Structure 1
Amino acid sequence: MSTASDDMPFLILTRAGFDDLVARIEQPGAVLMLNPGIASDTELARLREAGANVHVLSSPIDSAQQANLDAVLGRPAWVEHGAAALGPSAPPAEPERMPEERSRALHRRLAGAVGGVVGTFATHAFRRLSRLGQGGQMMLLPYFGFGNTGKLWIKGRVLDEVDFREQTQHDSSWHNLVALYRRLESDEVAGARVVARFQGQVLETQTDRGGYFSFEIVPAAPLSGGWHEVELELPDSATRDGQTVRAVAQASVPAATARFGIISDIDDTVLWTNVTNKLNMALMLARSNAHTRKPFKGVAAFYRALSAGASGQDENPMFYVSSSPWHLFGPLVDFLRLQGIPLGPLMLRELSPSQMLKLTSHGSHKLDKIEQILGYYPDMQFVLIGDSGEQDPEIYTEVVRRHPKAVRMIYIRNVNPDPARIDALDRLIAEVSATGAQLILAPDSVFAASHAAAEGLIHVDRLADVRSDKREDDKLITTKA
C-alpha cells in the first residue's frame, strides 16, 4: 500500500466493503471516504492513528446510484466490489479498442500513483472505463483567448483522445464520473506542430510536455472590440477521413465603451464546489455535470449587471481565474452558458490528475494569471470577485499592493465564519481601504449588487433582476432538496 498523500480515494458504501478493504490495508497513507454510519467512532479513530486519511461523507450515496453502476458496467466499480473482484473467480476484463501503447502508458500512470490493492483496483477500474470508449484520435482543443487593439493571446492543447460526449441533466452519477475521468485522464501530445492563421499572418509553434501551446499575435491592423477568430491546424495530423485536424480559437477584445473589467474566481464564488474540502469537491464533480451543478444564488444576474455597467450597455469584459485544471474548460463553459452568466476568457491551471486533491500553489497560480490579464490592459480598472474560503482576499490584496490604481473594488463572498478568519479579513479590508479601493465582505449577491449600484458600477434598475434571480435559485434548490 502506497504511503503517498495523493493516493486515489476509496469510496466505501457498506459495512461489508469496509471490513473487506480495511483487512487489506497494511501501511499508512490510504485515503478512505465512507458513507456515514458504517463504522464506529472507535474504528475511525483506530484507522486515523494507523495513518489512514479517513473522511466520512456528510450524506450517504443511495442504493439507486449503485444500481446505475451495475447497469453500466455489468458489475459494481466501487472499491468494496472492485477489491472482491481481484480474486481468480472474477478476472478483470481486458480493454477493448485500446491501442496497446496507450493502454500500457495509462496503466503505468495509474499504478505508479498508488500501490498494492489500490494500484490493482485503479488499473481494473480503468480497464472497465476504457471499454466505454471507441479509441482516440488527435484533438485540437482551443481555449478562449483575449487581447487588446494591438495584441492577442491564444492558448490551447493537443490531445490523443476520444471525443467527449455532450452531457445532459438526465445523466447518471456513473456517466458523470466516466466523463470526468476521461477529461482528467486525457492523453497529451508533446512536440506537435501547431499553425495559427490570423489576418494573413501564419505563425507556428510546438506543444510542450503537457500538450499545451500558446500564441501571442500582433495584428497587422488595430482590432475592434468583440470576439475574434484565429484559425488553428495540426499540419502533421489527419482526421479519420484524411482531413487535416483544424479548429478555431476565439479571443475577446474589450469594447471601446467598457468602463472596467471584472475578474472572478469560479470555485465557491460562481459555482458551488466545496473547494475547501478537496475530497468532497472531487466527489461532487464526479456526481454532477454542467446541467446539474449549483450556481450561487443571484450570481448570474449580478454578473450580467456588472458586464452591462451603469449605462446598461458598457460591455465590460469578464475574466475567470480558477485553480481548476484546464481539463474542465469545456464543462465550465457549458455551465456559464446554461446559467446565463457572461462568457469570458478562463484562466485555469495546468494540473495532472494525481495532483487534483492537493492544490498547493493555488495563490501563485491565480496571482500570475491576474498579472497576465492586467498586463494587457494597463489603463483599465478592475472589479475583483472571490470568496473567503481559501486565499482570494490575500491574493487580491497583493494585486492592490502591486497595482494600486488598477483595482476599483473587491467583493468577497463570506463562506468561512471562523472568527480568526474574520479578524484576518478585517486587517485586509483596512489595508485595501488605505489605497482608496474597497474590499467588501458580502454575504450574498444581493448585498454585493446593492453596494455596486450605490458605487455606480451597475444600474440601479438591475437590483430587481438580482433579487428575482436569487428567489428563483432558492426555489430551484428547495425543489431539488
Structure 2
Amino acid sequence: MRTRPFFGARIEDRLKKVINRVLKRRGWQESVRPYTGYGTSEQIRVLARIVLQPSKQFGIVQAANALLYRRGWRNFIAFSKADAAASVRFGDTTVPVRADRGGYIDVRIKNPGLEPGWHSVTVQGSDGASAVASVQIIGDDITFGVVSDIDDTILSTWLPRPFLAAWNSFVLTEQARQAIPGMARWYQQMLEANPGAPIIFVSTGAFNTYPMIRRFQKRHGIPHGAMLLTDWGPTNTGWFRSGTDHKRTALRELARDLPNIRWLLVGDDGQHDPELYAEFAELQPEHVLARAIRELSPGEAVLAHGIRLEDGEHRWNPTTAPEFRAPDGDGLADKLRKLDIISF
C-alpha cells in the first residue's frame, strides 16, 4: 500500500512553496474564488479555492485585460495557495477550514437551519480576502434532479483533441463559444415543472474555467447549479488525474449526499458518459431515473477523439433507467416525453 504521495506530487508541492514565496515578494495577493455548492437540511457542501494573483494595481495586467477581454488564458492567471487556512461564515456561524494542496476548499458543514432555496456563504482567507459563494439547499421532499456534463453536452468545445482544446481554452473569446441547440430550453422546462429540483454539472474540465462557464450559462439561459469540476496536474497517485474516476466519484457523492433523488443523467457519446452512466445505473438503480445521451455529429466525433465509441463496447447493461439518444436538446426532450417518467 502506498504510504507517501506520488513523487510528482511531492515535487509539485515543493515548487509551489517556493513560487508562493516569490510571488508574495513580487506583490501578488491572496484571492478567494468561490464556486457553487449544494446542501440539504443536514449539511452544506461549500466549494472554493484560495489563490495568489497579480495585484489589480499592476497597470500591465489591466492593459492586458483590456486588450484581450475575457480570452481563455485569463482563467489561468493565478497560482494556488496550498494548505491555506480559511473560514466559512453564514449568519452567526463561522467554521474554520483548510485548503488542500491545490488550494481547493471542499467541505461539508452542518446546516445551521437554512431553508430550501438559494443562499450565500462567505469564504474568507487568512490574509483577509473573501468572496461570497452560492449554495442551493435542496428540500428533503425533492425526488428529481438533473446531472449534466458540460463539454459537448451544453457547450461545443471539440475536447480533448489537443490543438483544438488549447485553442478553445486559451485563445478564443468567450463570445465565440457555441451552445448546443435546445439544451437550455429543455433544462428550463424540466426545472420549471419540478420546483426545487437541482441541476448539478459534472465535468472533467478544470476549475480554472468556472467563471467562463458561469458567464456562458447566463448568456445562453442555462439554469444555475453546482459545478463539480476538477484540477489539472499530478495527484497523490500519478502524473494525471483520471477524468472517468472524477465523474464516477462525483456521482457516488451525489448519491450519498442526496439519497432521496433519482437523477436524469445527461451526457454525450463523445467520450465515456454512456458507459459511466450505465455503470452507475446498474450499481445504484435507486438513484437513476433515466440516461440521456447527446449524439455527436460525425465531424464532432472525429474532432473529439478520432472515432465514435460503439455501443457494443459498453459492458454495463442496466435493466432499469432507460437510455435515449438524440443530437440536440429538442430531440432529447421529445424522447423523454414519450417515456412519460417526469412532468415538464
TM over 0.5: same fold? yes
The one-letter amino acid paired with 1:211 is G
**Unmatched segments (≥5 aa) in structure 2:** 1-19, 57-63, 302-306
CA distance in 1, matches of 2:329, 2:166: 26
Residue of structure 2 equivalent to 1:398: 279
Quick check: 1:385 aligned with 2:278?
no
Find 1:229's aligned residue among 98, 104, 120.
120
Deviation at 1:391, TM superposition (A): 0.6
Deviation at 1:459, TM superposition (A): 5.2
1:59-114 deviations in whole A, cap 9, x for unaligned?
A: xxxxxxxxxxxxxxxxxxxxxxxxxxxxxxxxxxxxxxxx9923999xxxxxxxxx
**Unmatched segments (≥5 aa) in structure 1:** 1-98, 106-134, 165-170, 238-243, 461-481
Deviation at 1:291, TM superposition (A): 2.5
Task: Please state whether the residue corresponding to 2:152 is helix, strand or coil.
Answer: coil
CA distance in 2, matches of 1:338, 1:247: 23
Change (3 A) 1:251 1:420: closer
Residue of structure 1 equivalent to 2:312: 424
Structure 1 segment 33-432 matched on structure 2, within 5 A? 101-102=22-23, 136-162=28-54, 175=68, 179-221=71-113, 223-234=114-125, 236-237=126-127, 244-255=128-139, 258-308=142-192, 312-352=193-233, 361-415=242-296, 421-424=309-312, 431-432=317-318
CA distance in 2, matches of 1:442, 1:335: 23
CA distance in 1, matches of 2:219, 2:35: 18
On the 8 A contact 1:387/1:415 being kept in 2, the answer is yes
The count of aligned residue pairs is: 308
On the 8 A contact 1:147/1:251 being kept in 2, the answer is yes
Residue of structure 1 equivalent to 2:326: 442
CA distance in 1, matches of 2:240, 2:151: 13
On the 8 A contact 2:40/2:139 being kept in 1, the answer is no
Task: Please state whether the residue corresponding to 1:143 is helix, strand or coil.
Answer: strand
CA distance in 1, matches of 2:55, 2:264: 37
CA distance in 2, matches of 1:230, 1:443: 38
Task: Please state whether the residue corresponding to 1:144 is helix, strand or coil.
Answer: strand
On the 8 A contact 1:276/1:390 being kept in 2, the answer is no
CA distance in 1, matches of 2:123, 2:277: 35
The one-letter amino acid paired with 1:202 is T
CA distance in 2, matches of 1:375, 1:329: 24
CA distance in 2, matches of 1:420, 1:281: 18
On the 8 A contact 2:41/2:140 being kept in 1, the answer is no
State the percentage of identical aligned residues. 25
Change (3 A) 1:437 1:157: same
Task: Please state whether the residue corresponding to 1:269 is helix, strand or coil.
Answer: coil
CA distance in 2, matches of 1:104, 1:224: 44
CA distance in 1, matches of 2:296, 2:173: 23
Deviation at 1:201, TM superposition (A): 2.4
CA distance in 2, matches of 1:456, 1:254: 24
CA distance in 2, matches of 1:380, 1:448: 21
The one-letter amino acid paired with 1:407 is V
Task: Please state whether the residue corresponding to 2:154 is helix, strand or coil.
Answer: coil
Deviation at 1:359, TM superposition (A): 6.7
* Deviates most, 281-290 or 380-389: 281-290
Deviation at 1:182, TM superposition (A): 3.8
The one-letter amino acid paired with 2:312 is A
Deviation at 1:330, TM superposition (A): 0.6
On the 8 A contact 2:40/2:140 being kept in 1, the answer is no
Task: Please state whether the residue corresponding to 2:48 is helix, strand or coil.
Answer: strand
Change (3 A) 1:383 1:149: same
Deviation at 1:248, TM superposition (A): 1.6
Change (3 A) 1:220 1:286: closer
Task: Please state whether the residue corresponding to 1:334 is helix, strand or coil.
Answer: helix
Tell me the C-alpha RMSD between the 2 structures: 3.1
On the 8 A contact 1:157/1:207 being kept in 2, the answer is yes
CA distance in 1, matches of 2:260, 2:154: 27
CA distance in 1, matches of 2:281, 2:212: 31
Change (3 A) 1:341 1:359: farther
CA distance in 1, matches of 2:121, 2:24: 34
Deviation at 1:179, TM superposition (A): 4.4
On the 8 A contact 1:381/1:405 being kept in 2, the answer is yes
Residue of structure 2 equivalent to 1:126: none
Task: Please state whether the residue corresponding to 2:156 is helix, strand or coil.
Answer: coil
Task: Please state whether the residue corresponding to 2:340 is helix, strand or coil.
Answer: coil
Change (3 A) 1:100 1:317: closer
From the two aligned structures, give the one with the greater strand fraction.
Answer: 2
Q: Could you say which structure has the greater relative contact order, defined with CA pairs below 8 angstroms and 6 or more residues apart?
A: 2
Change (3 A) 1:420 1:185: closer
Task: Please state whether the residue corresponding to 1:190 is helix, strand or coil.
Answer: coil
Task: Please state whether the residue corresponding to 2:310 is helix, strand or coil.
Answer: helix
Larger radius of gyration: 1
Deviation at 1:212, TM superposition (A): 1.3
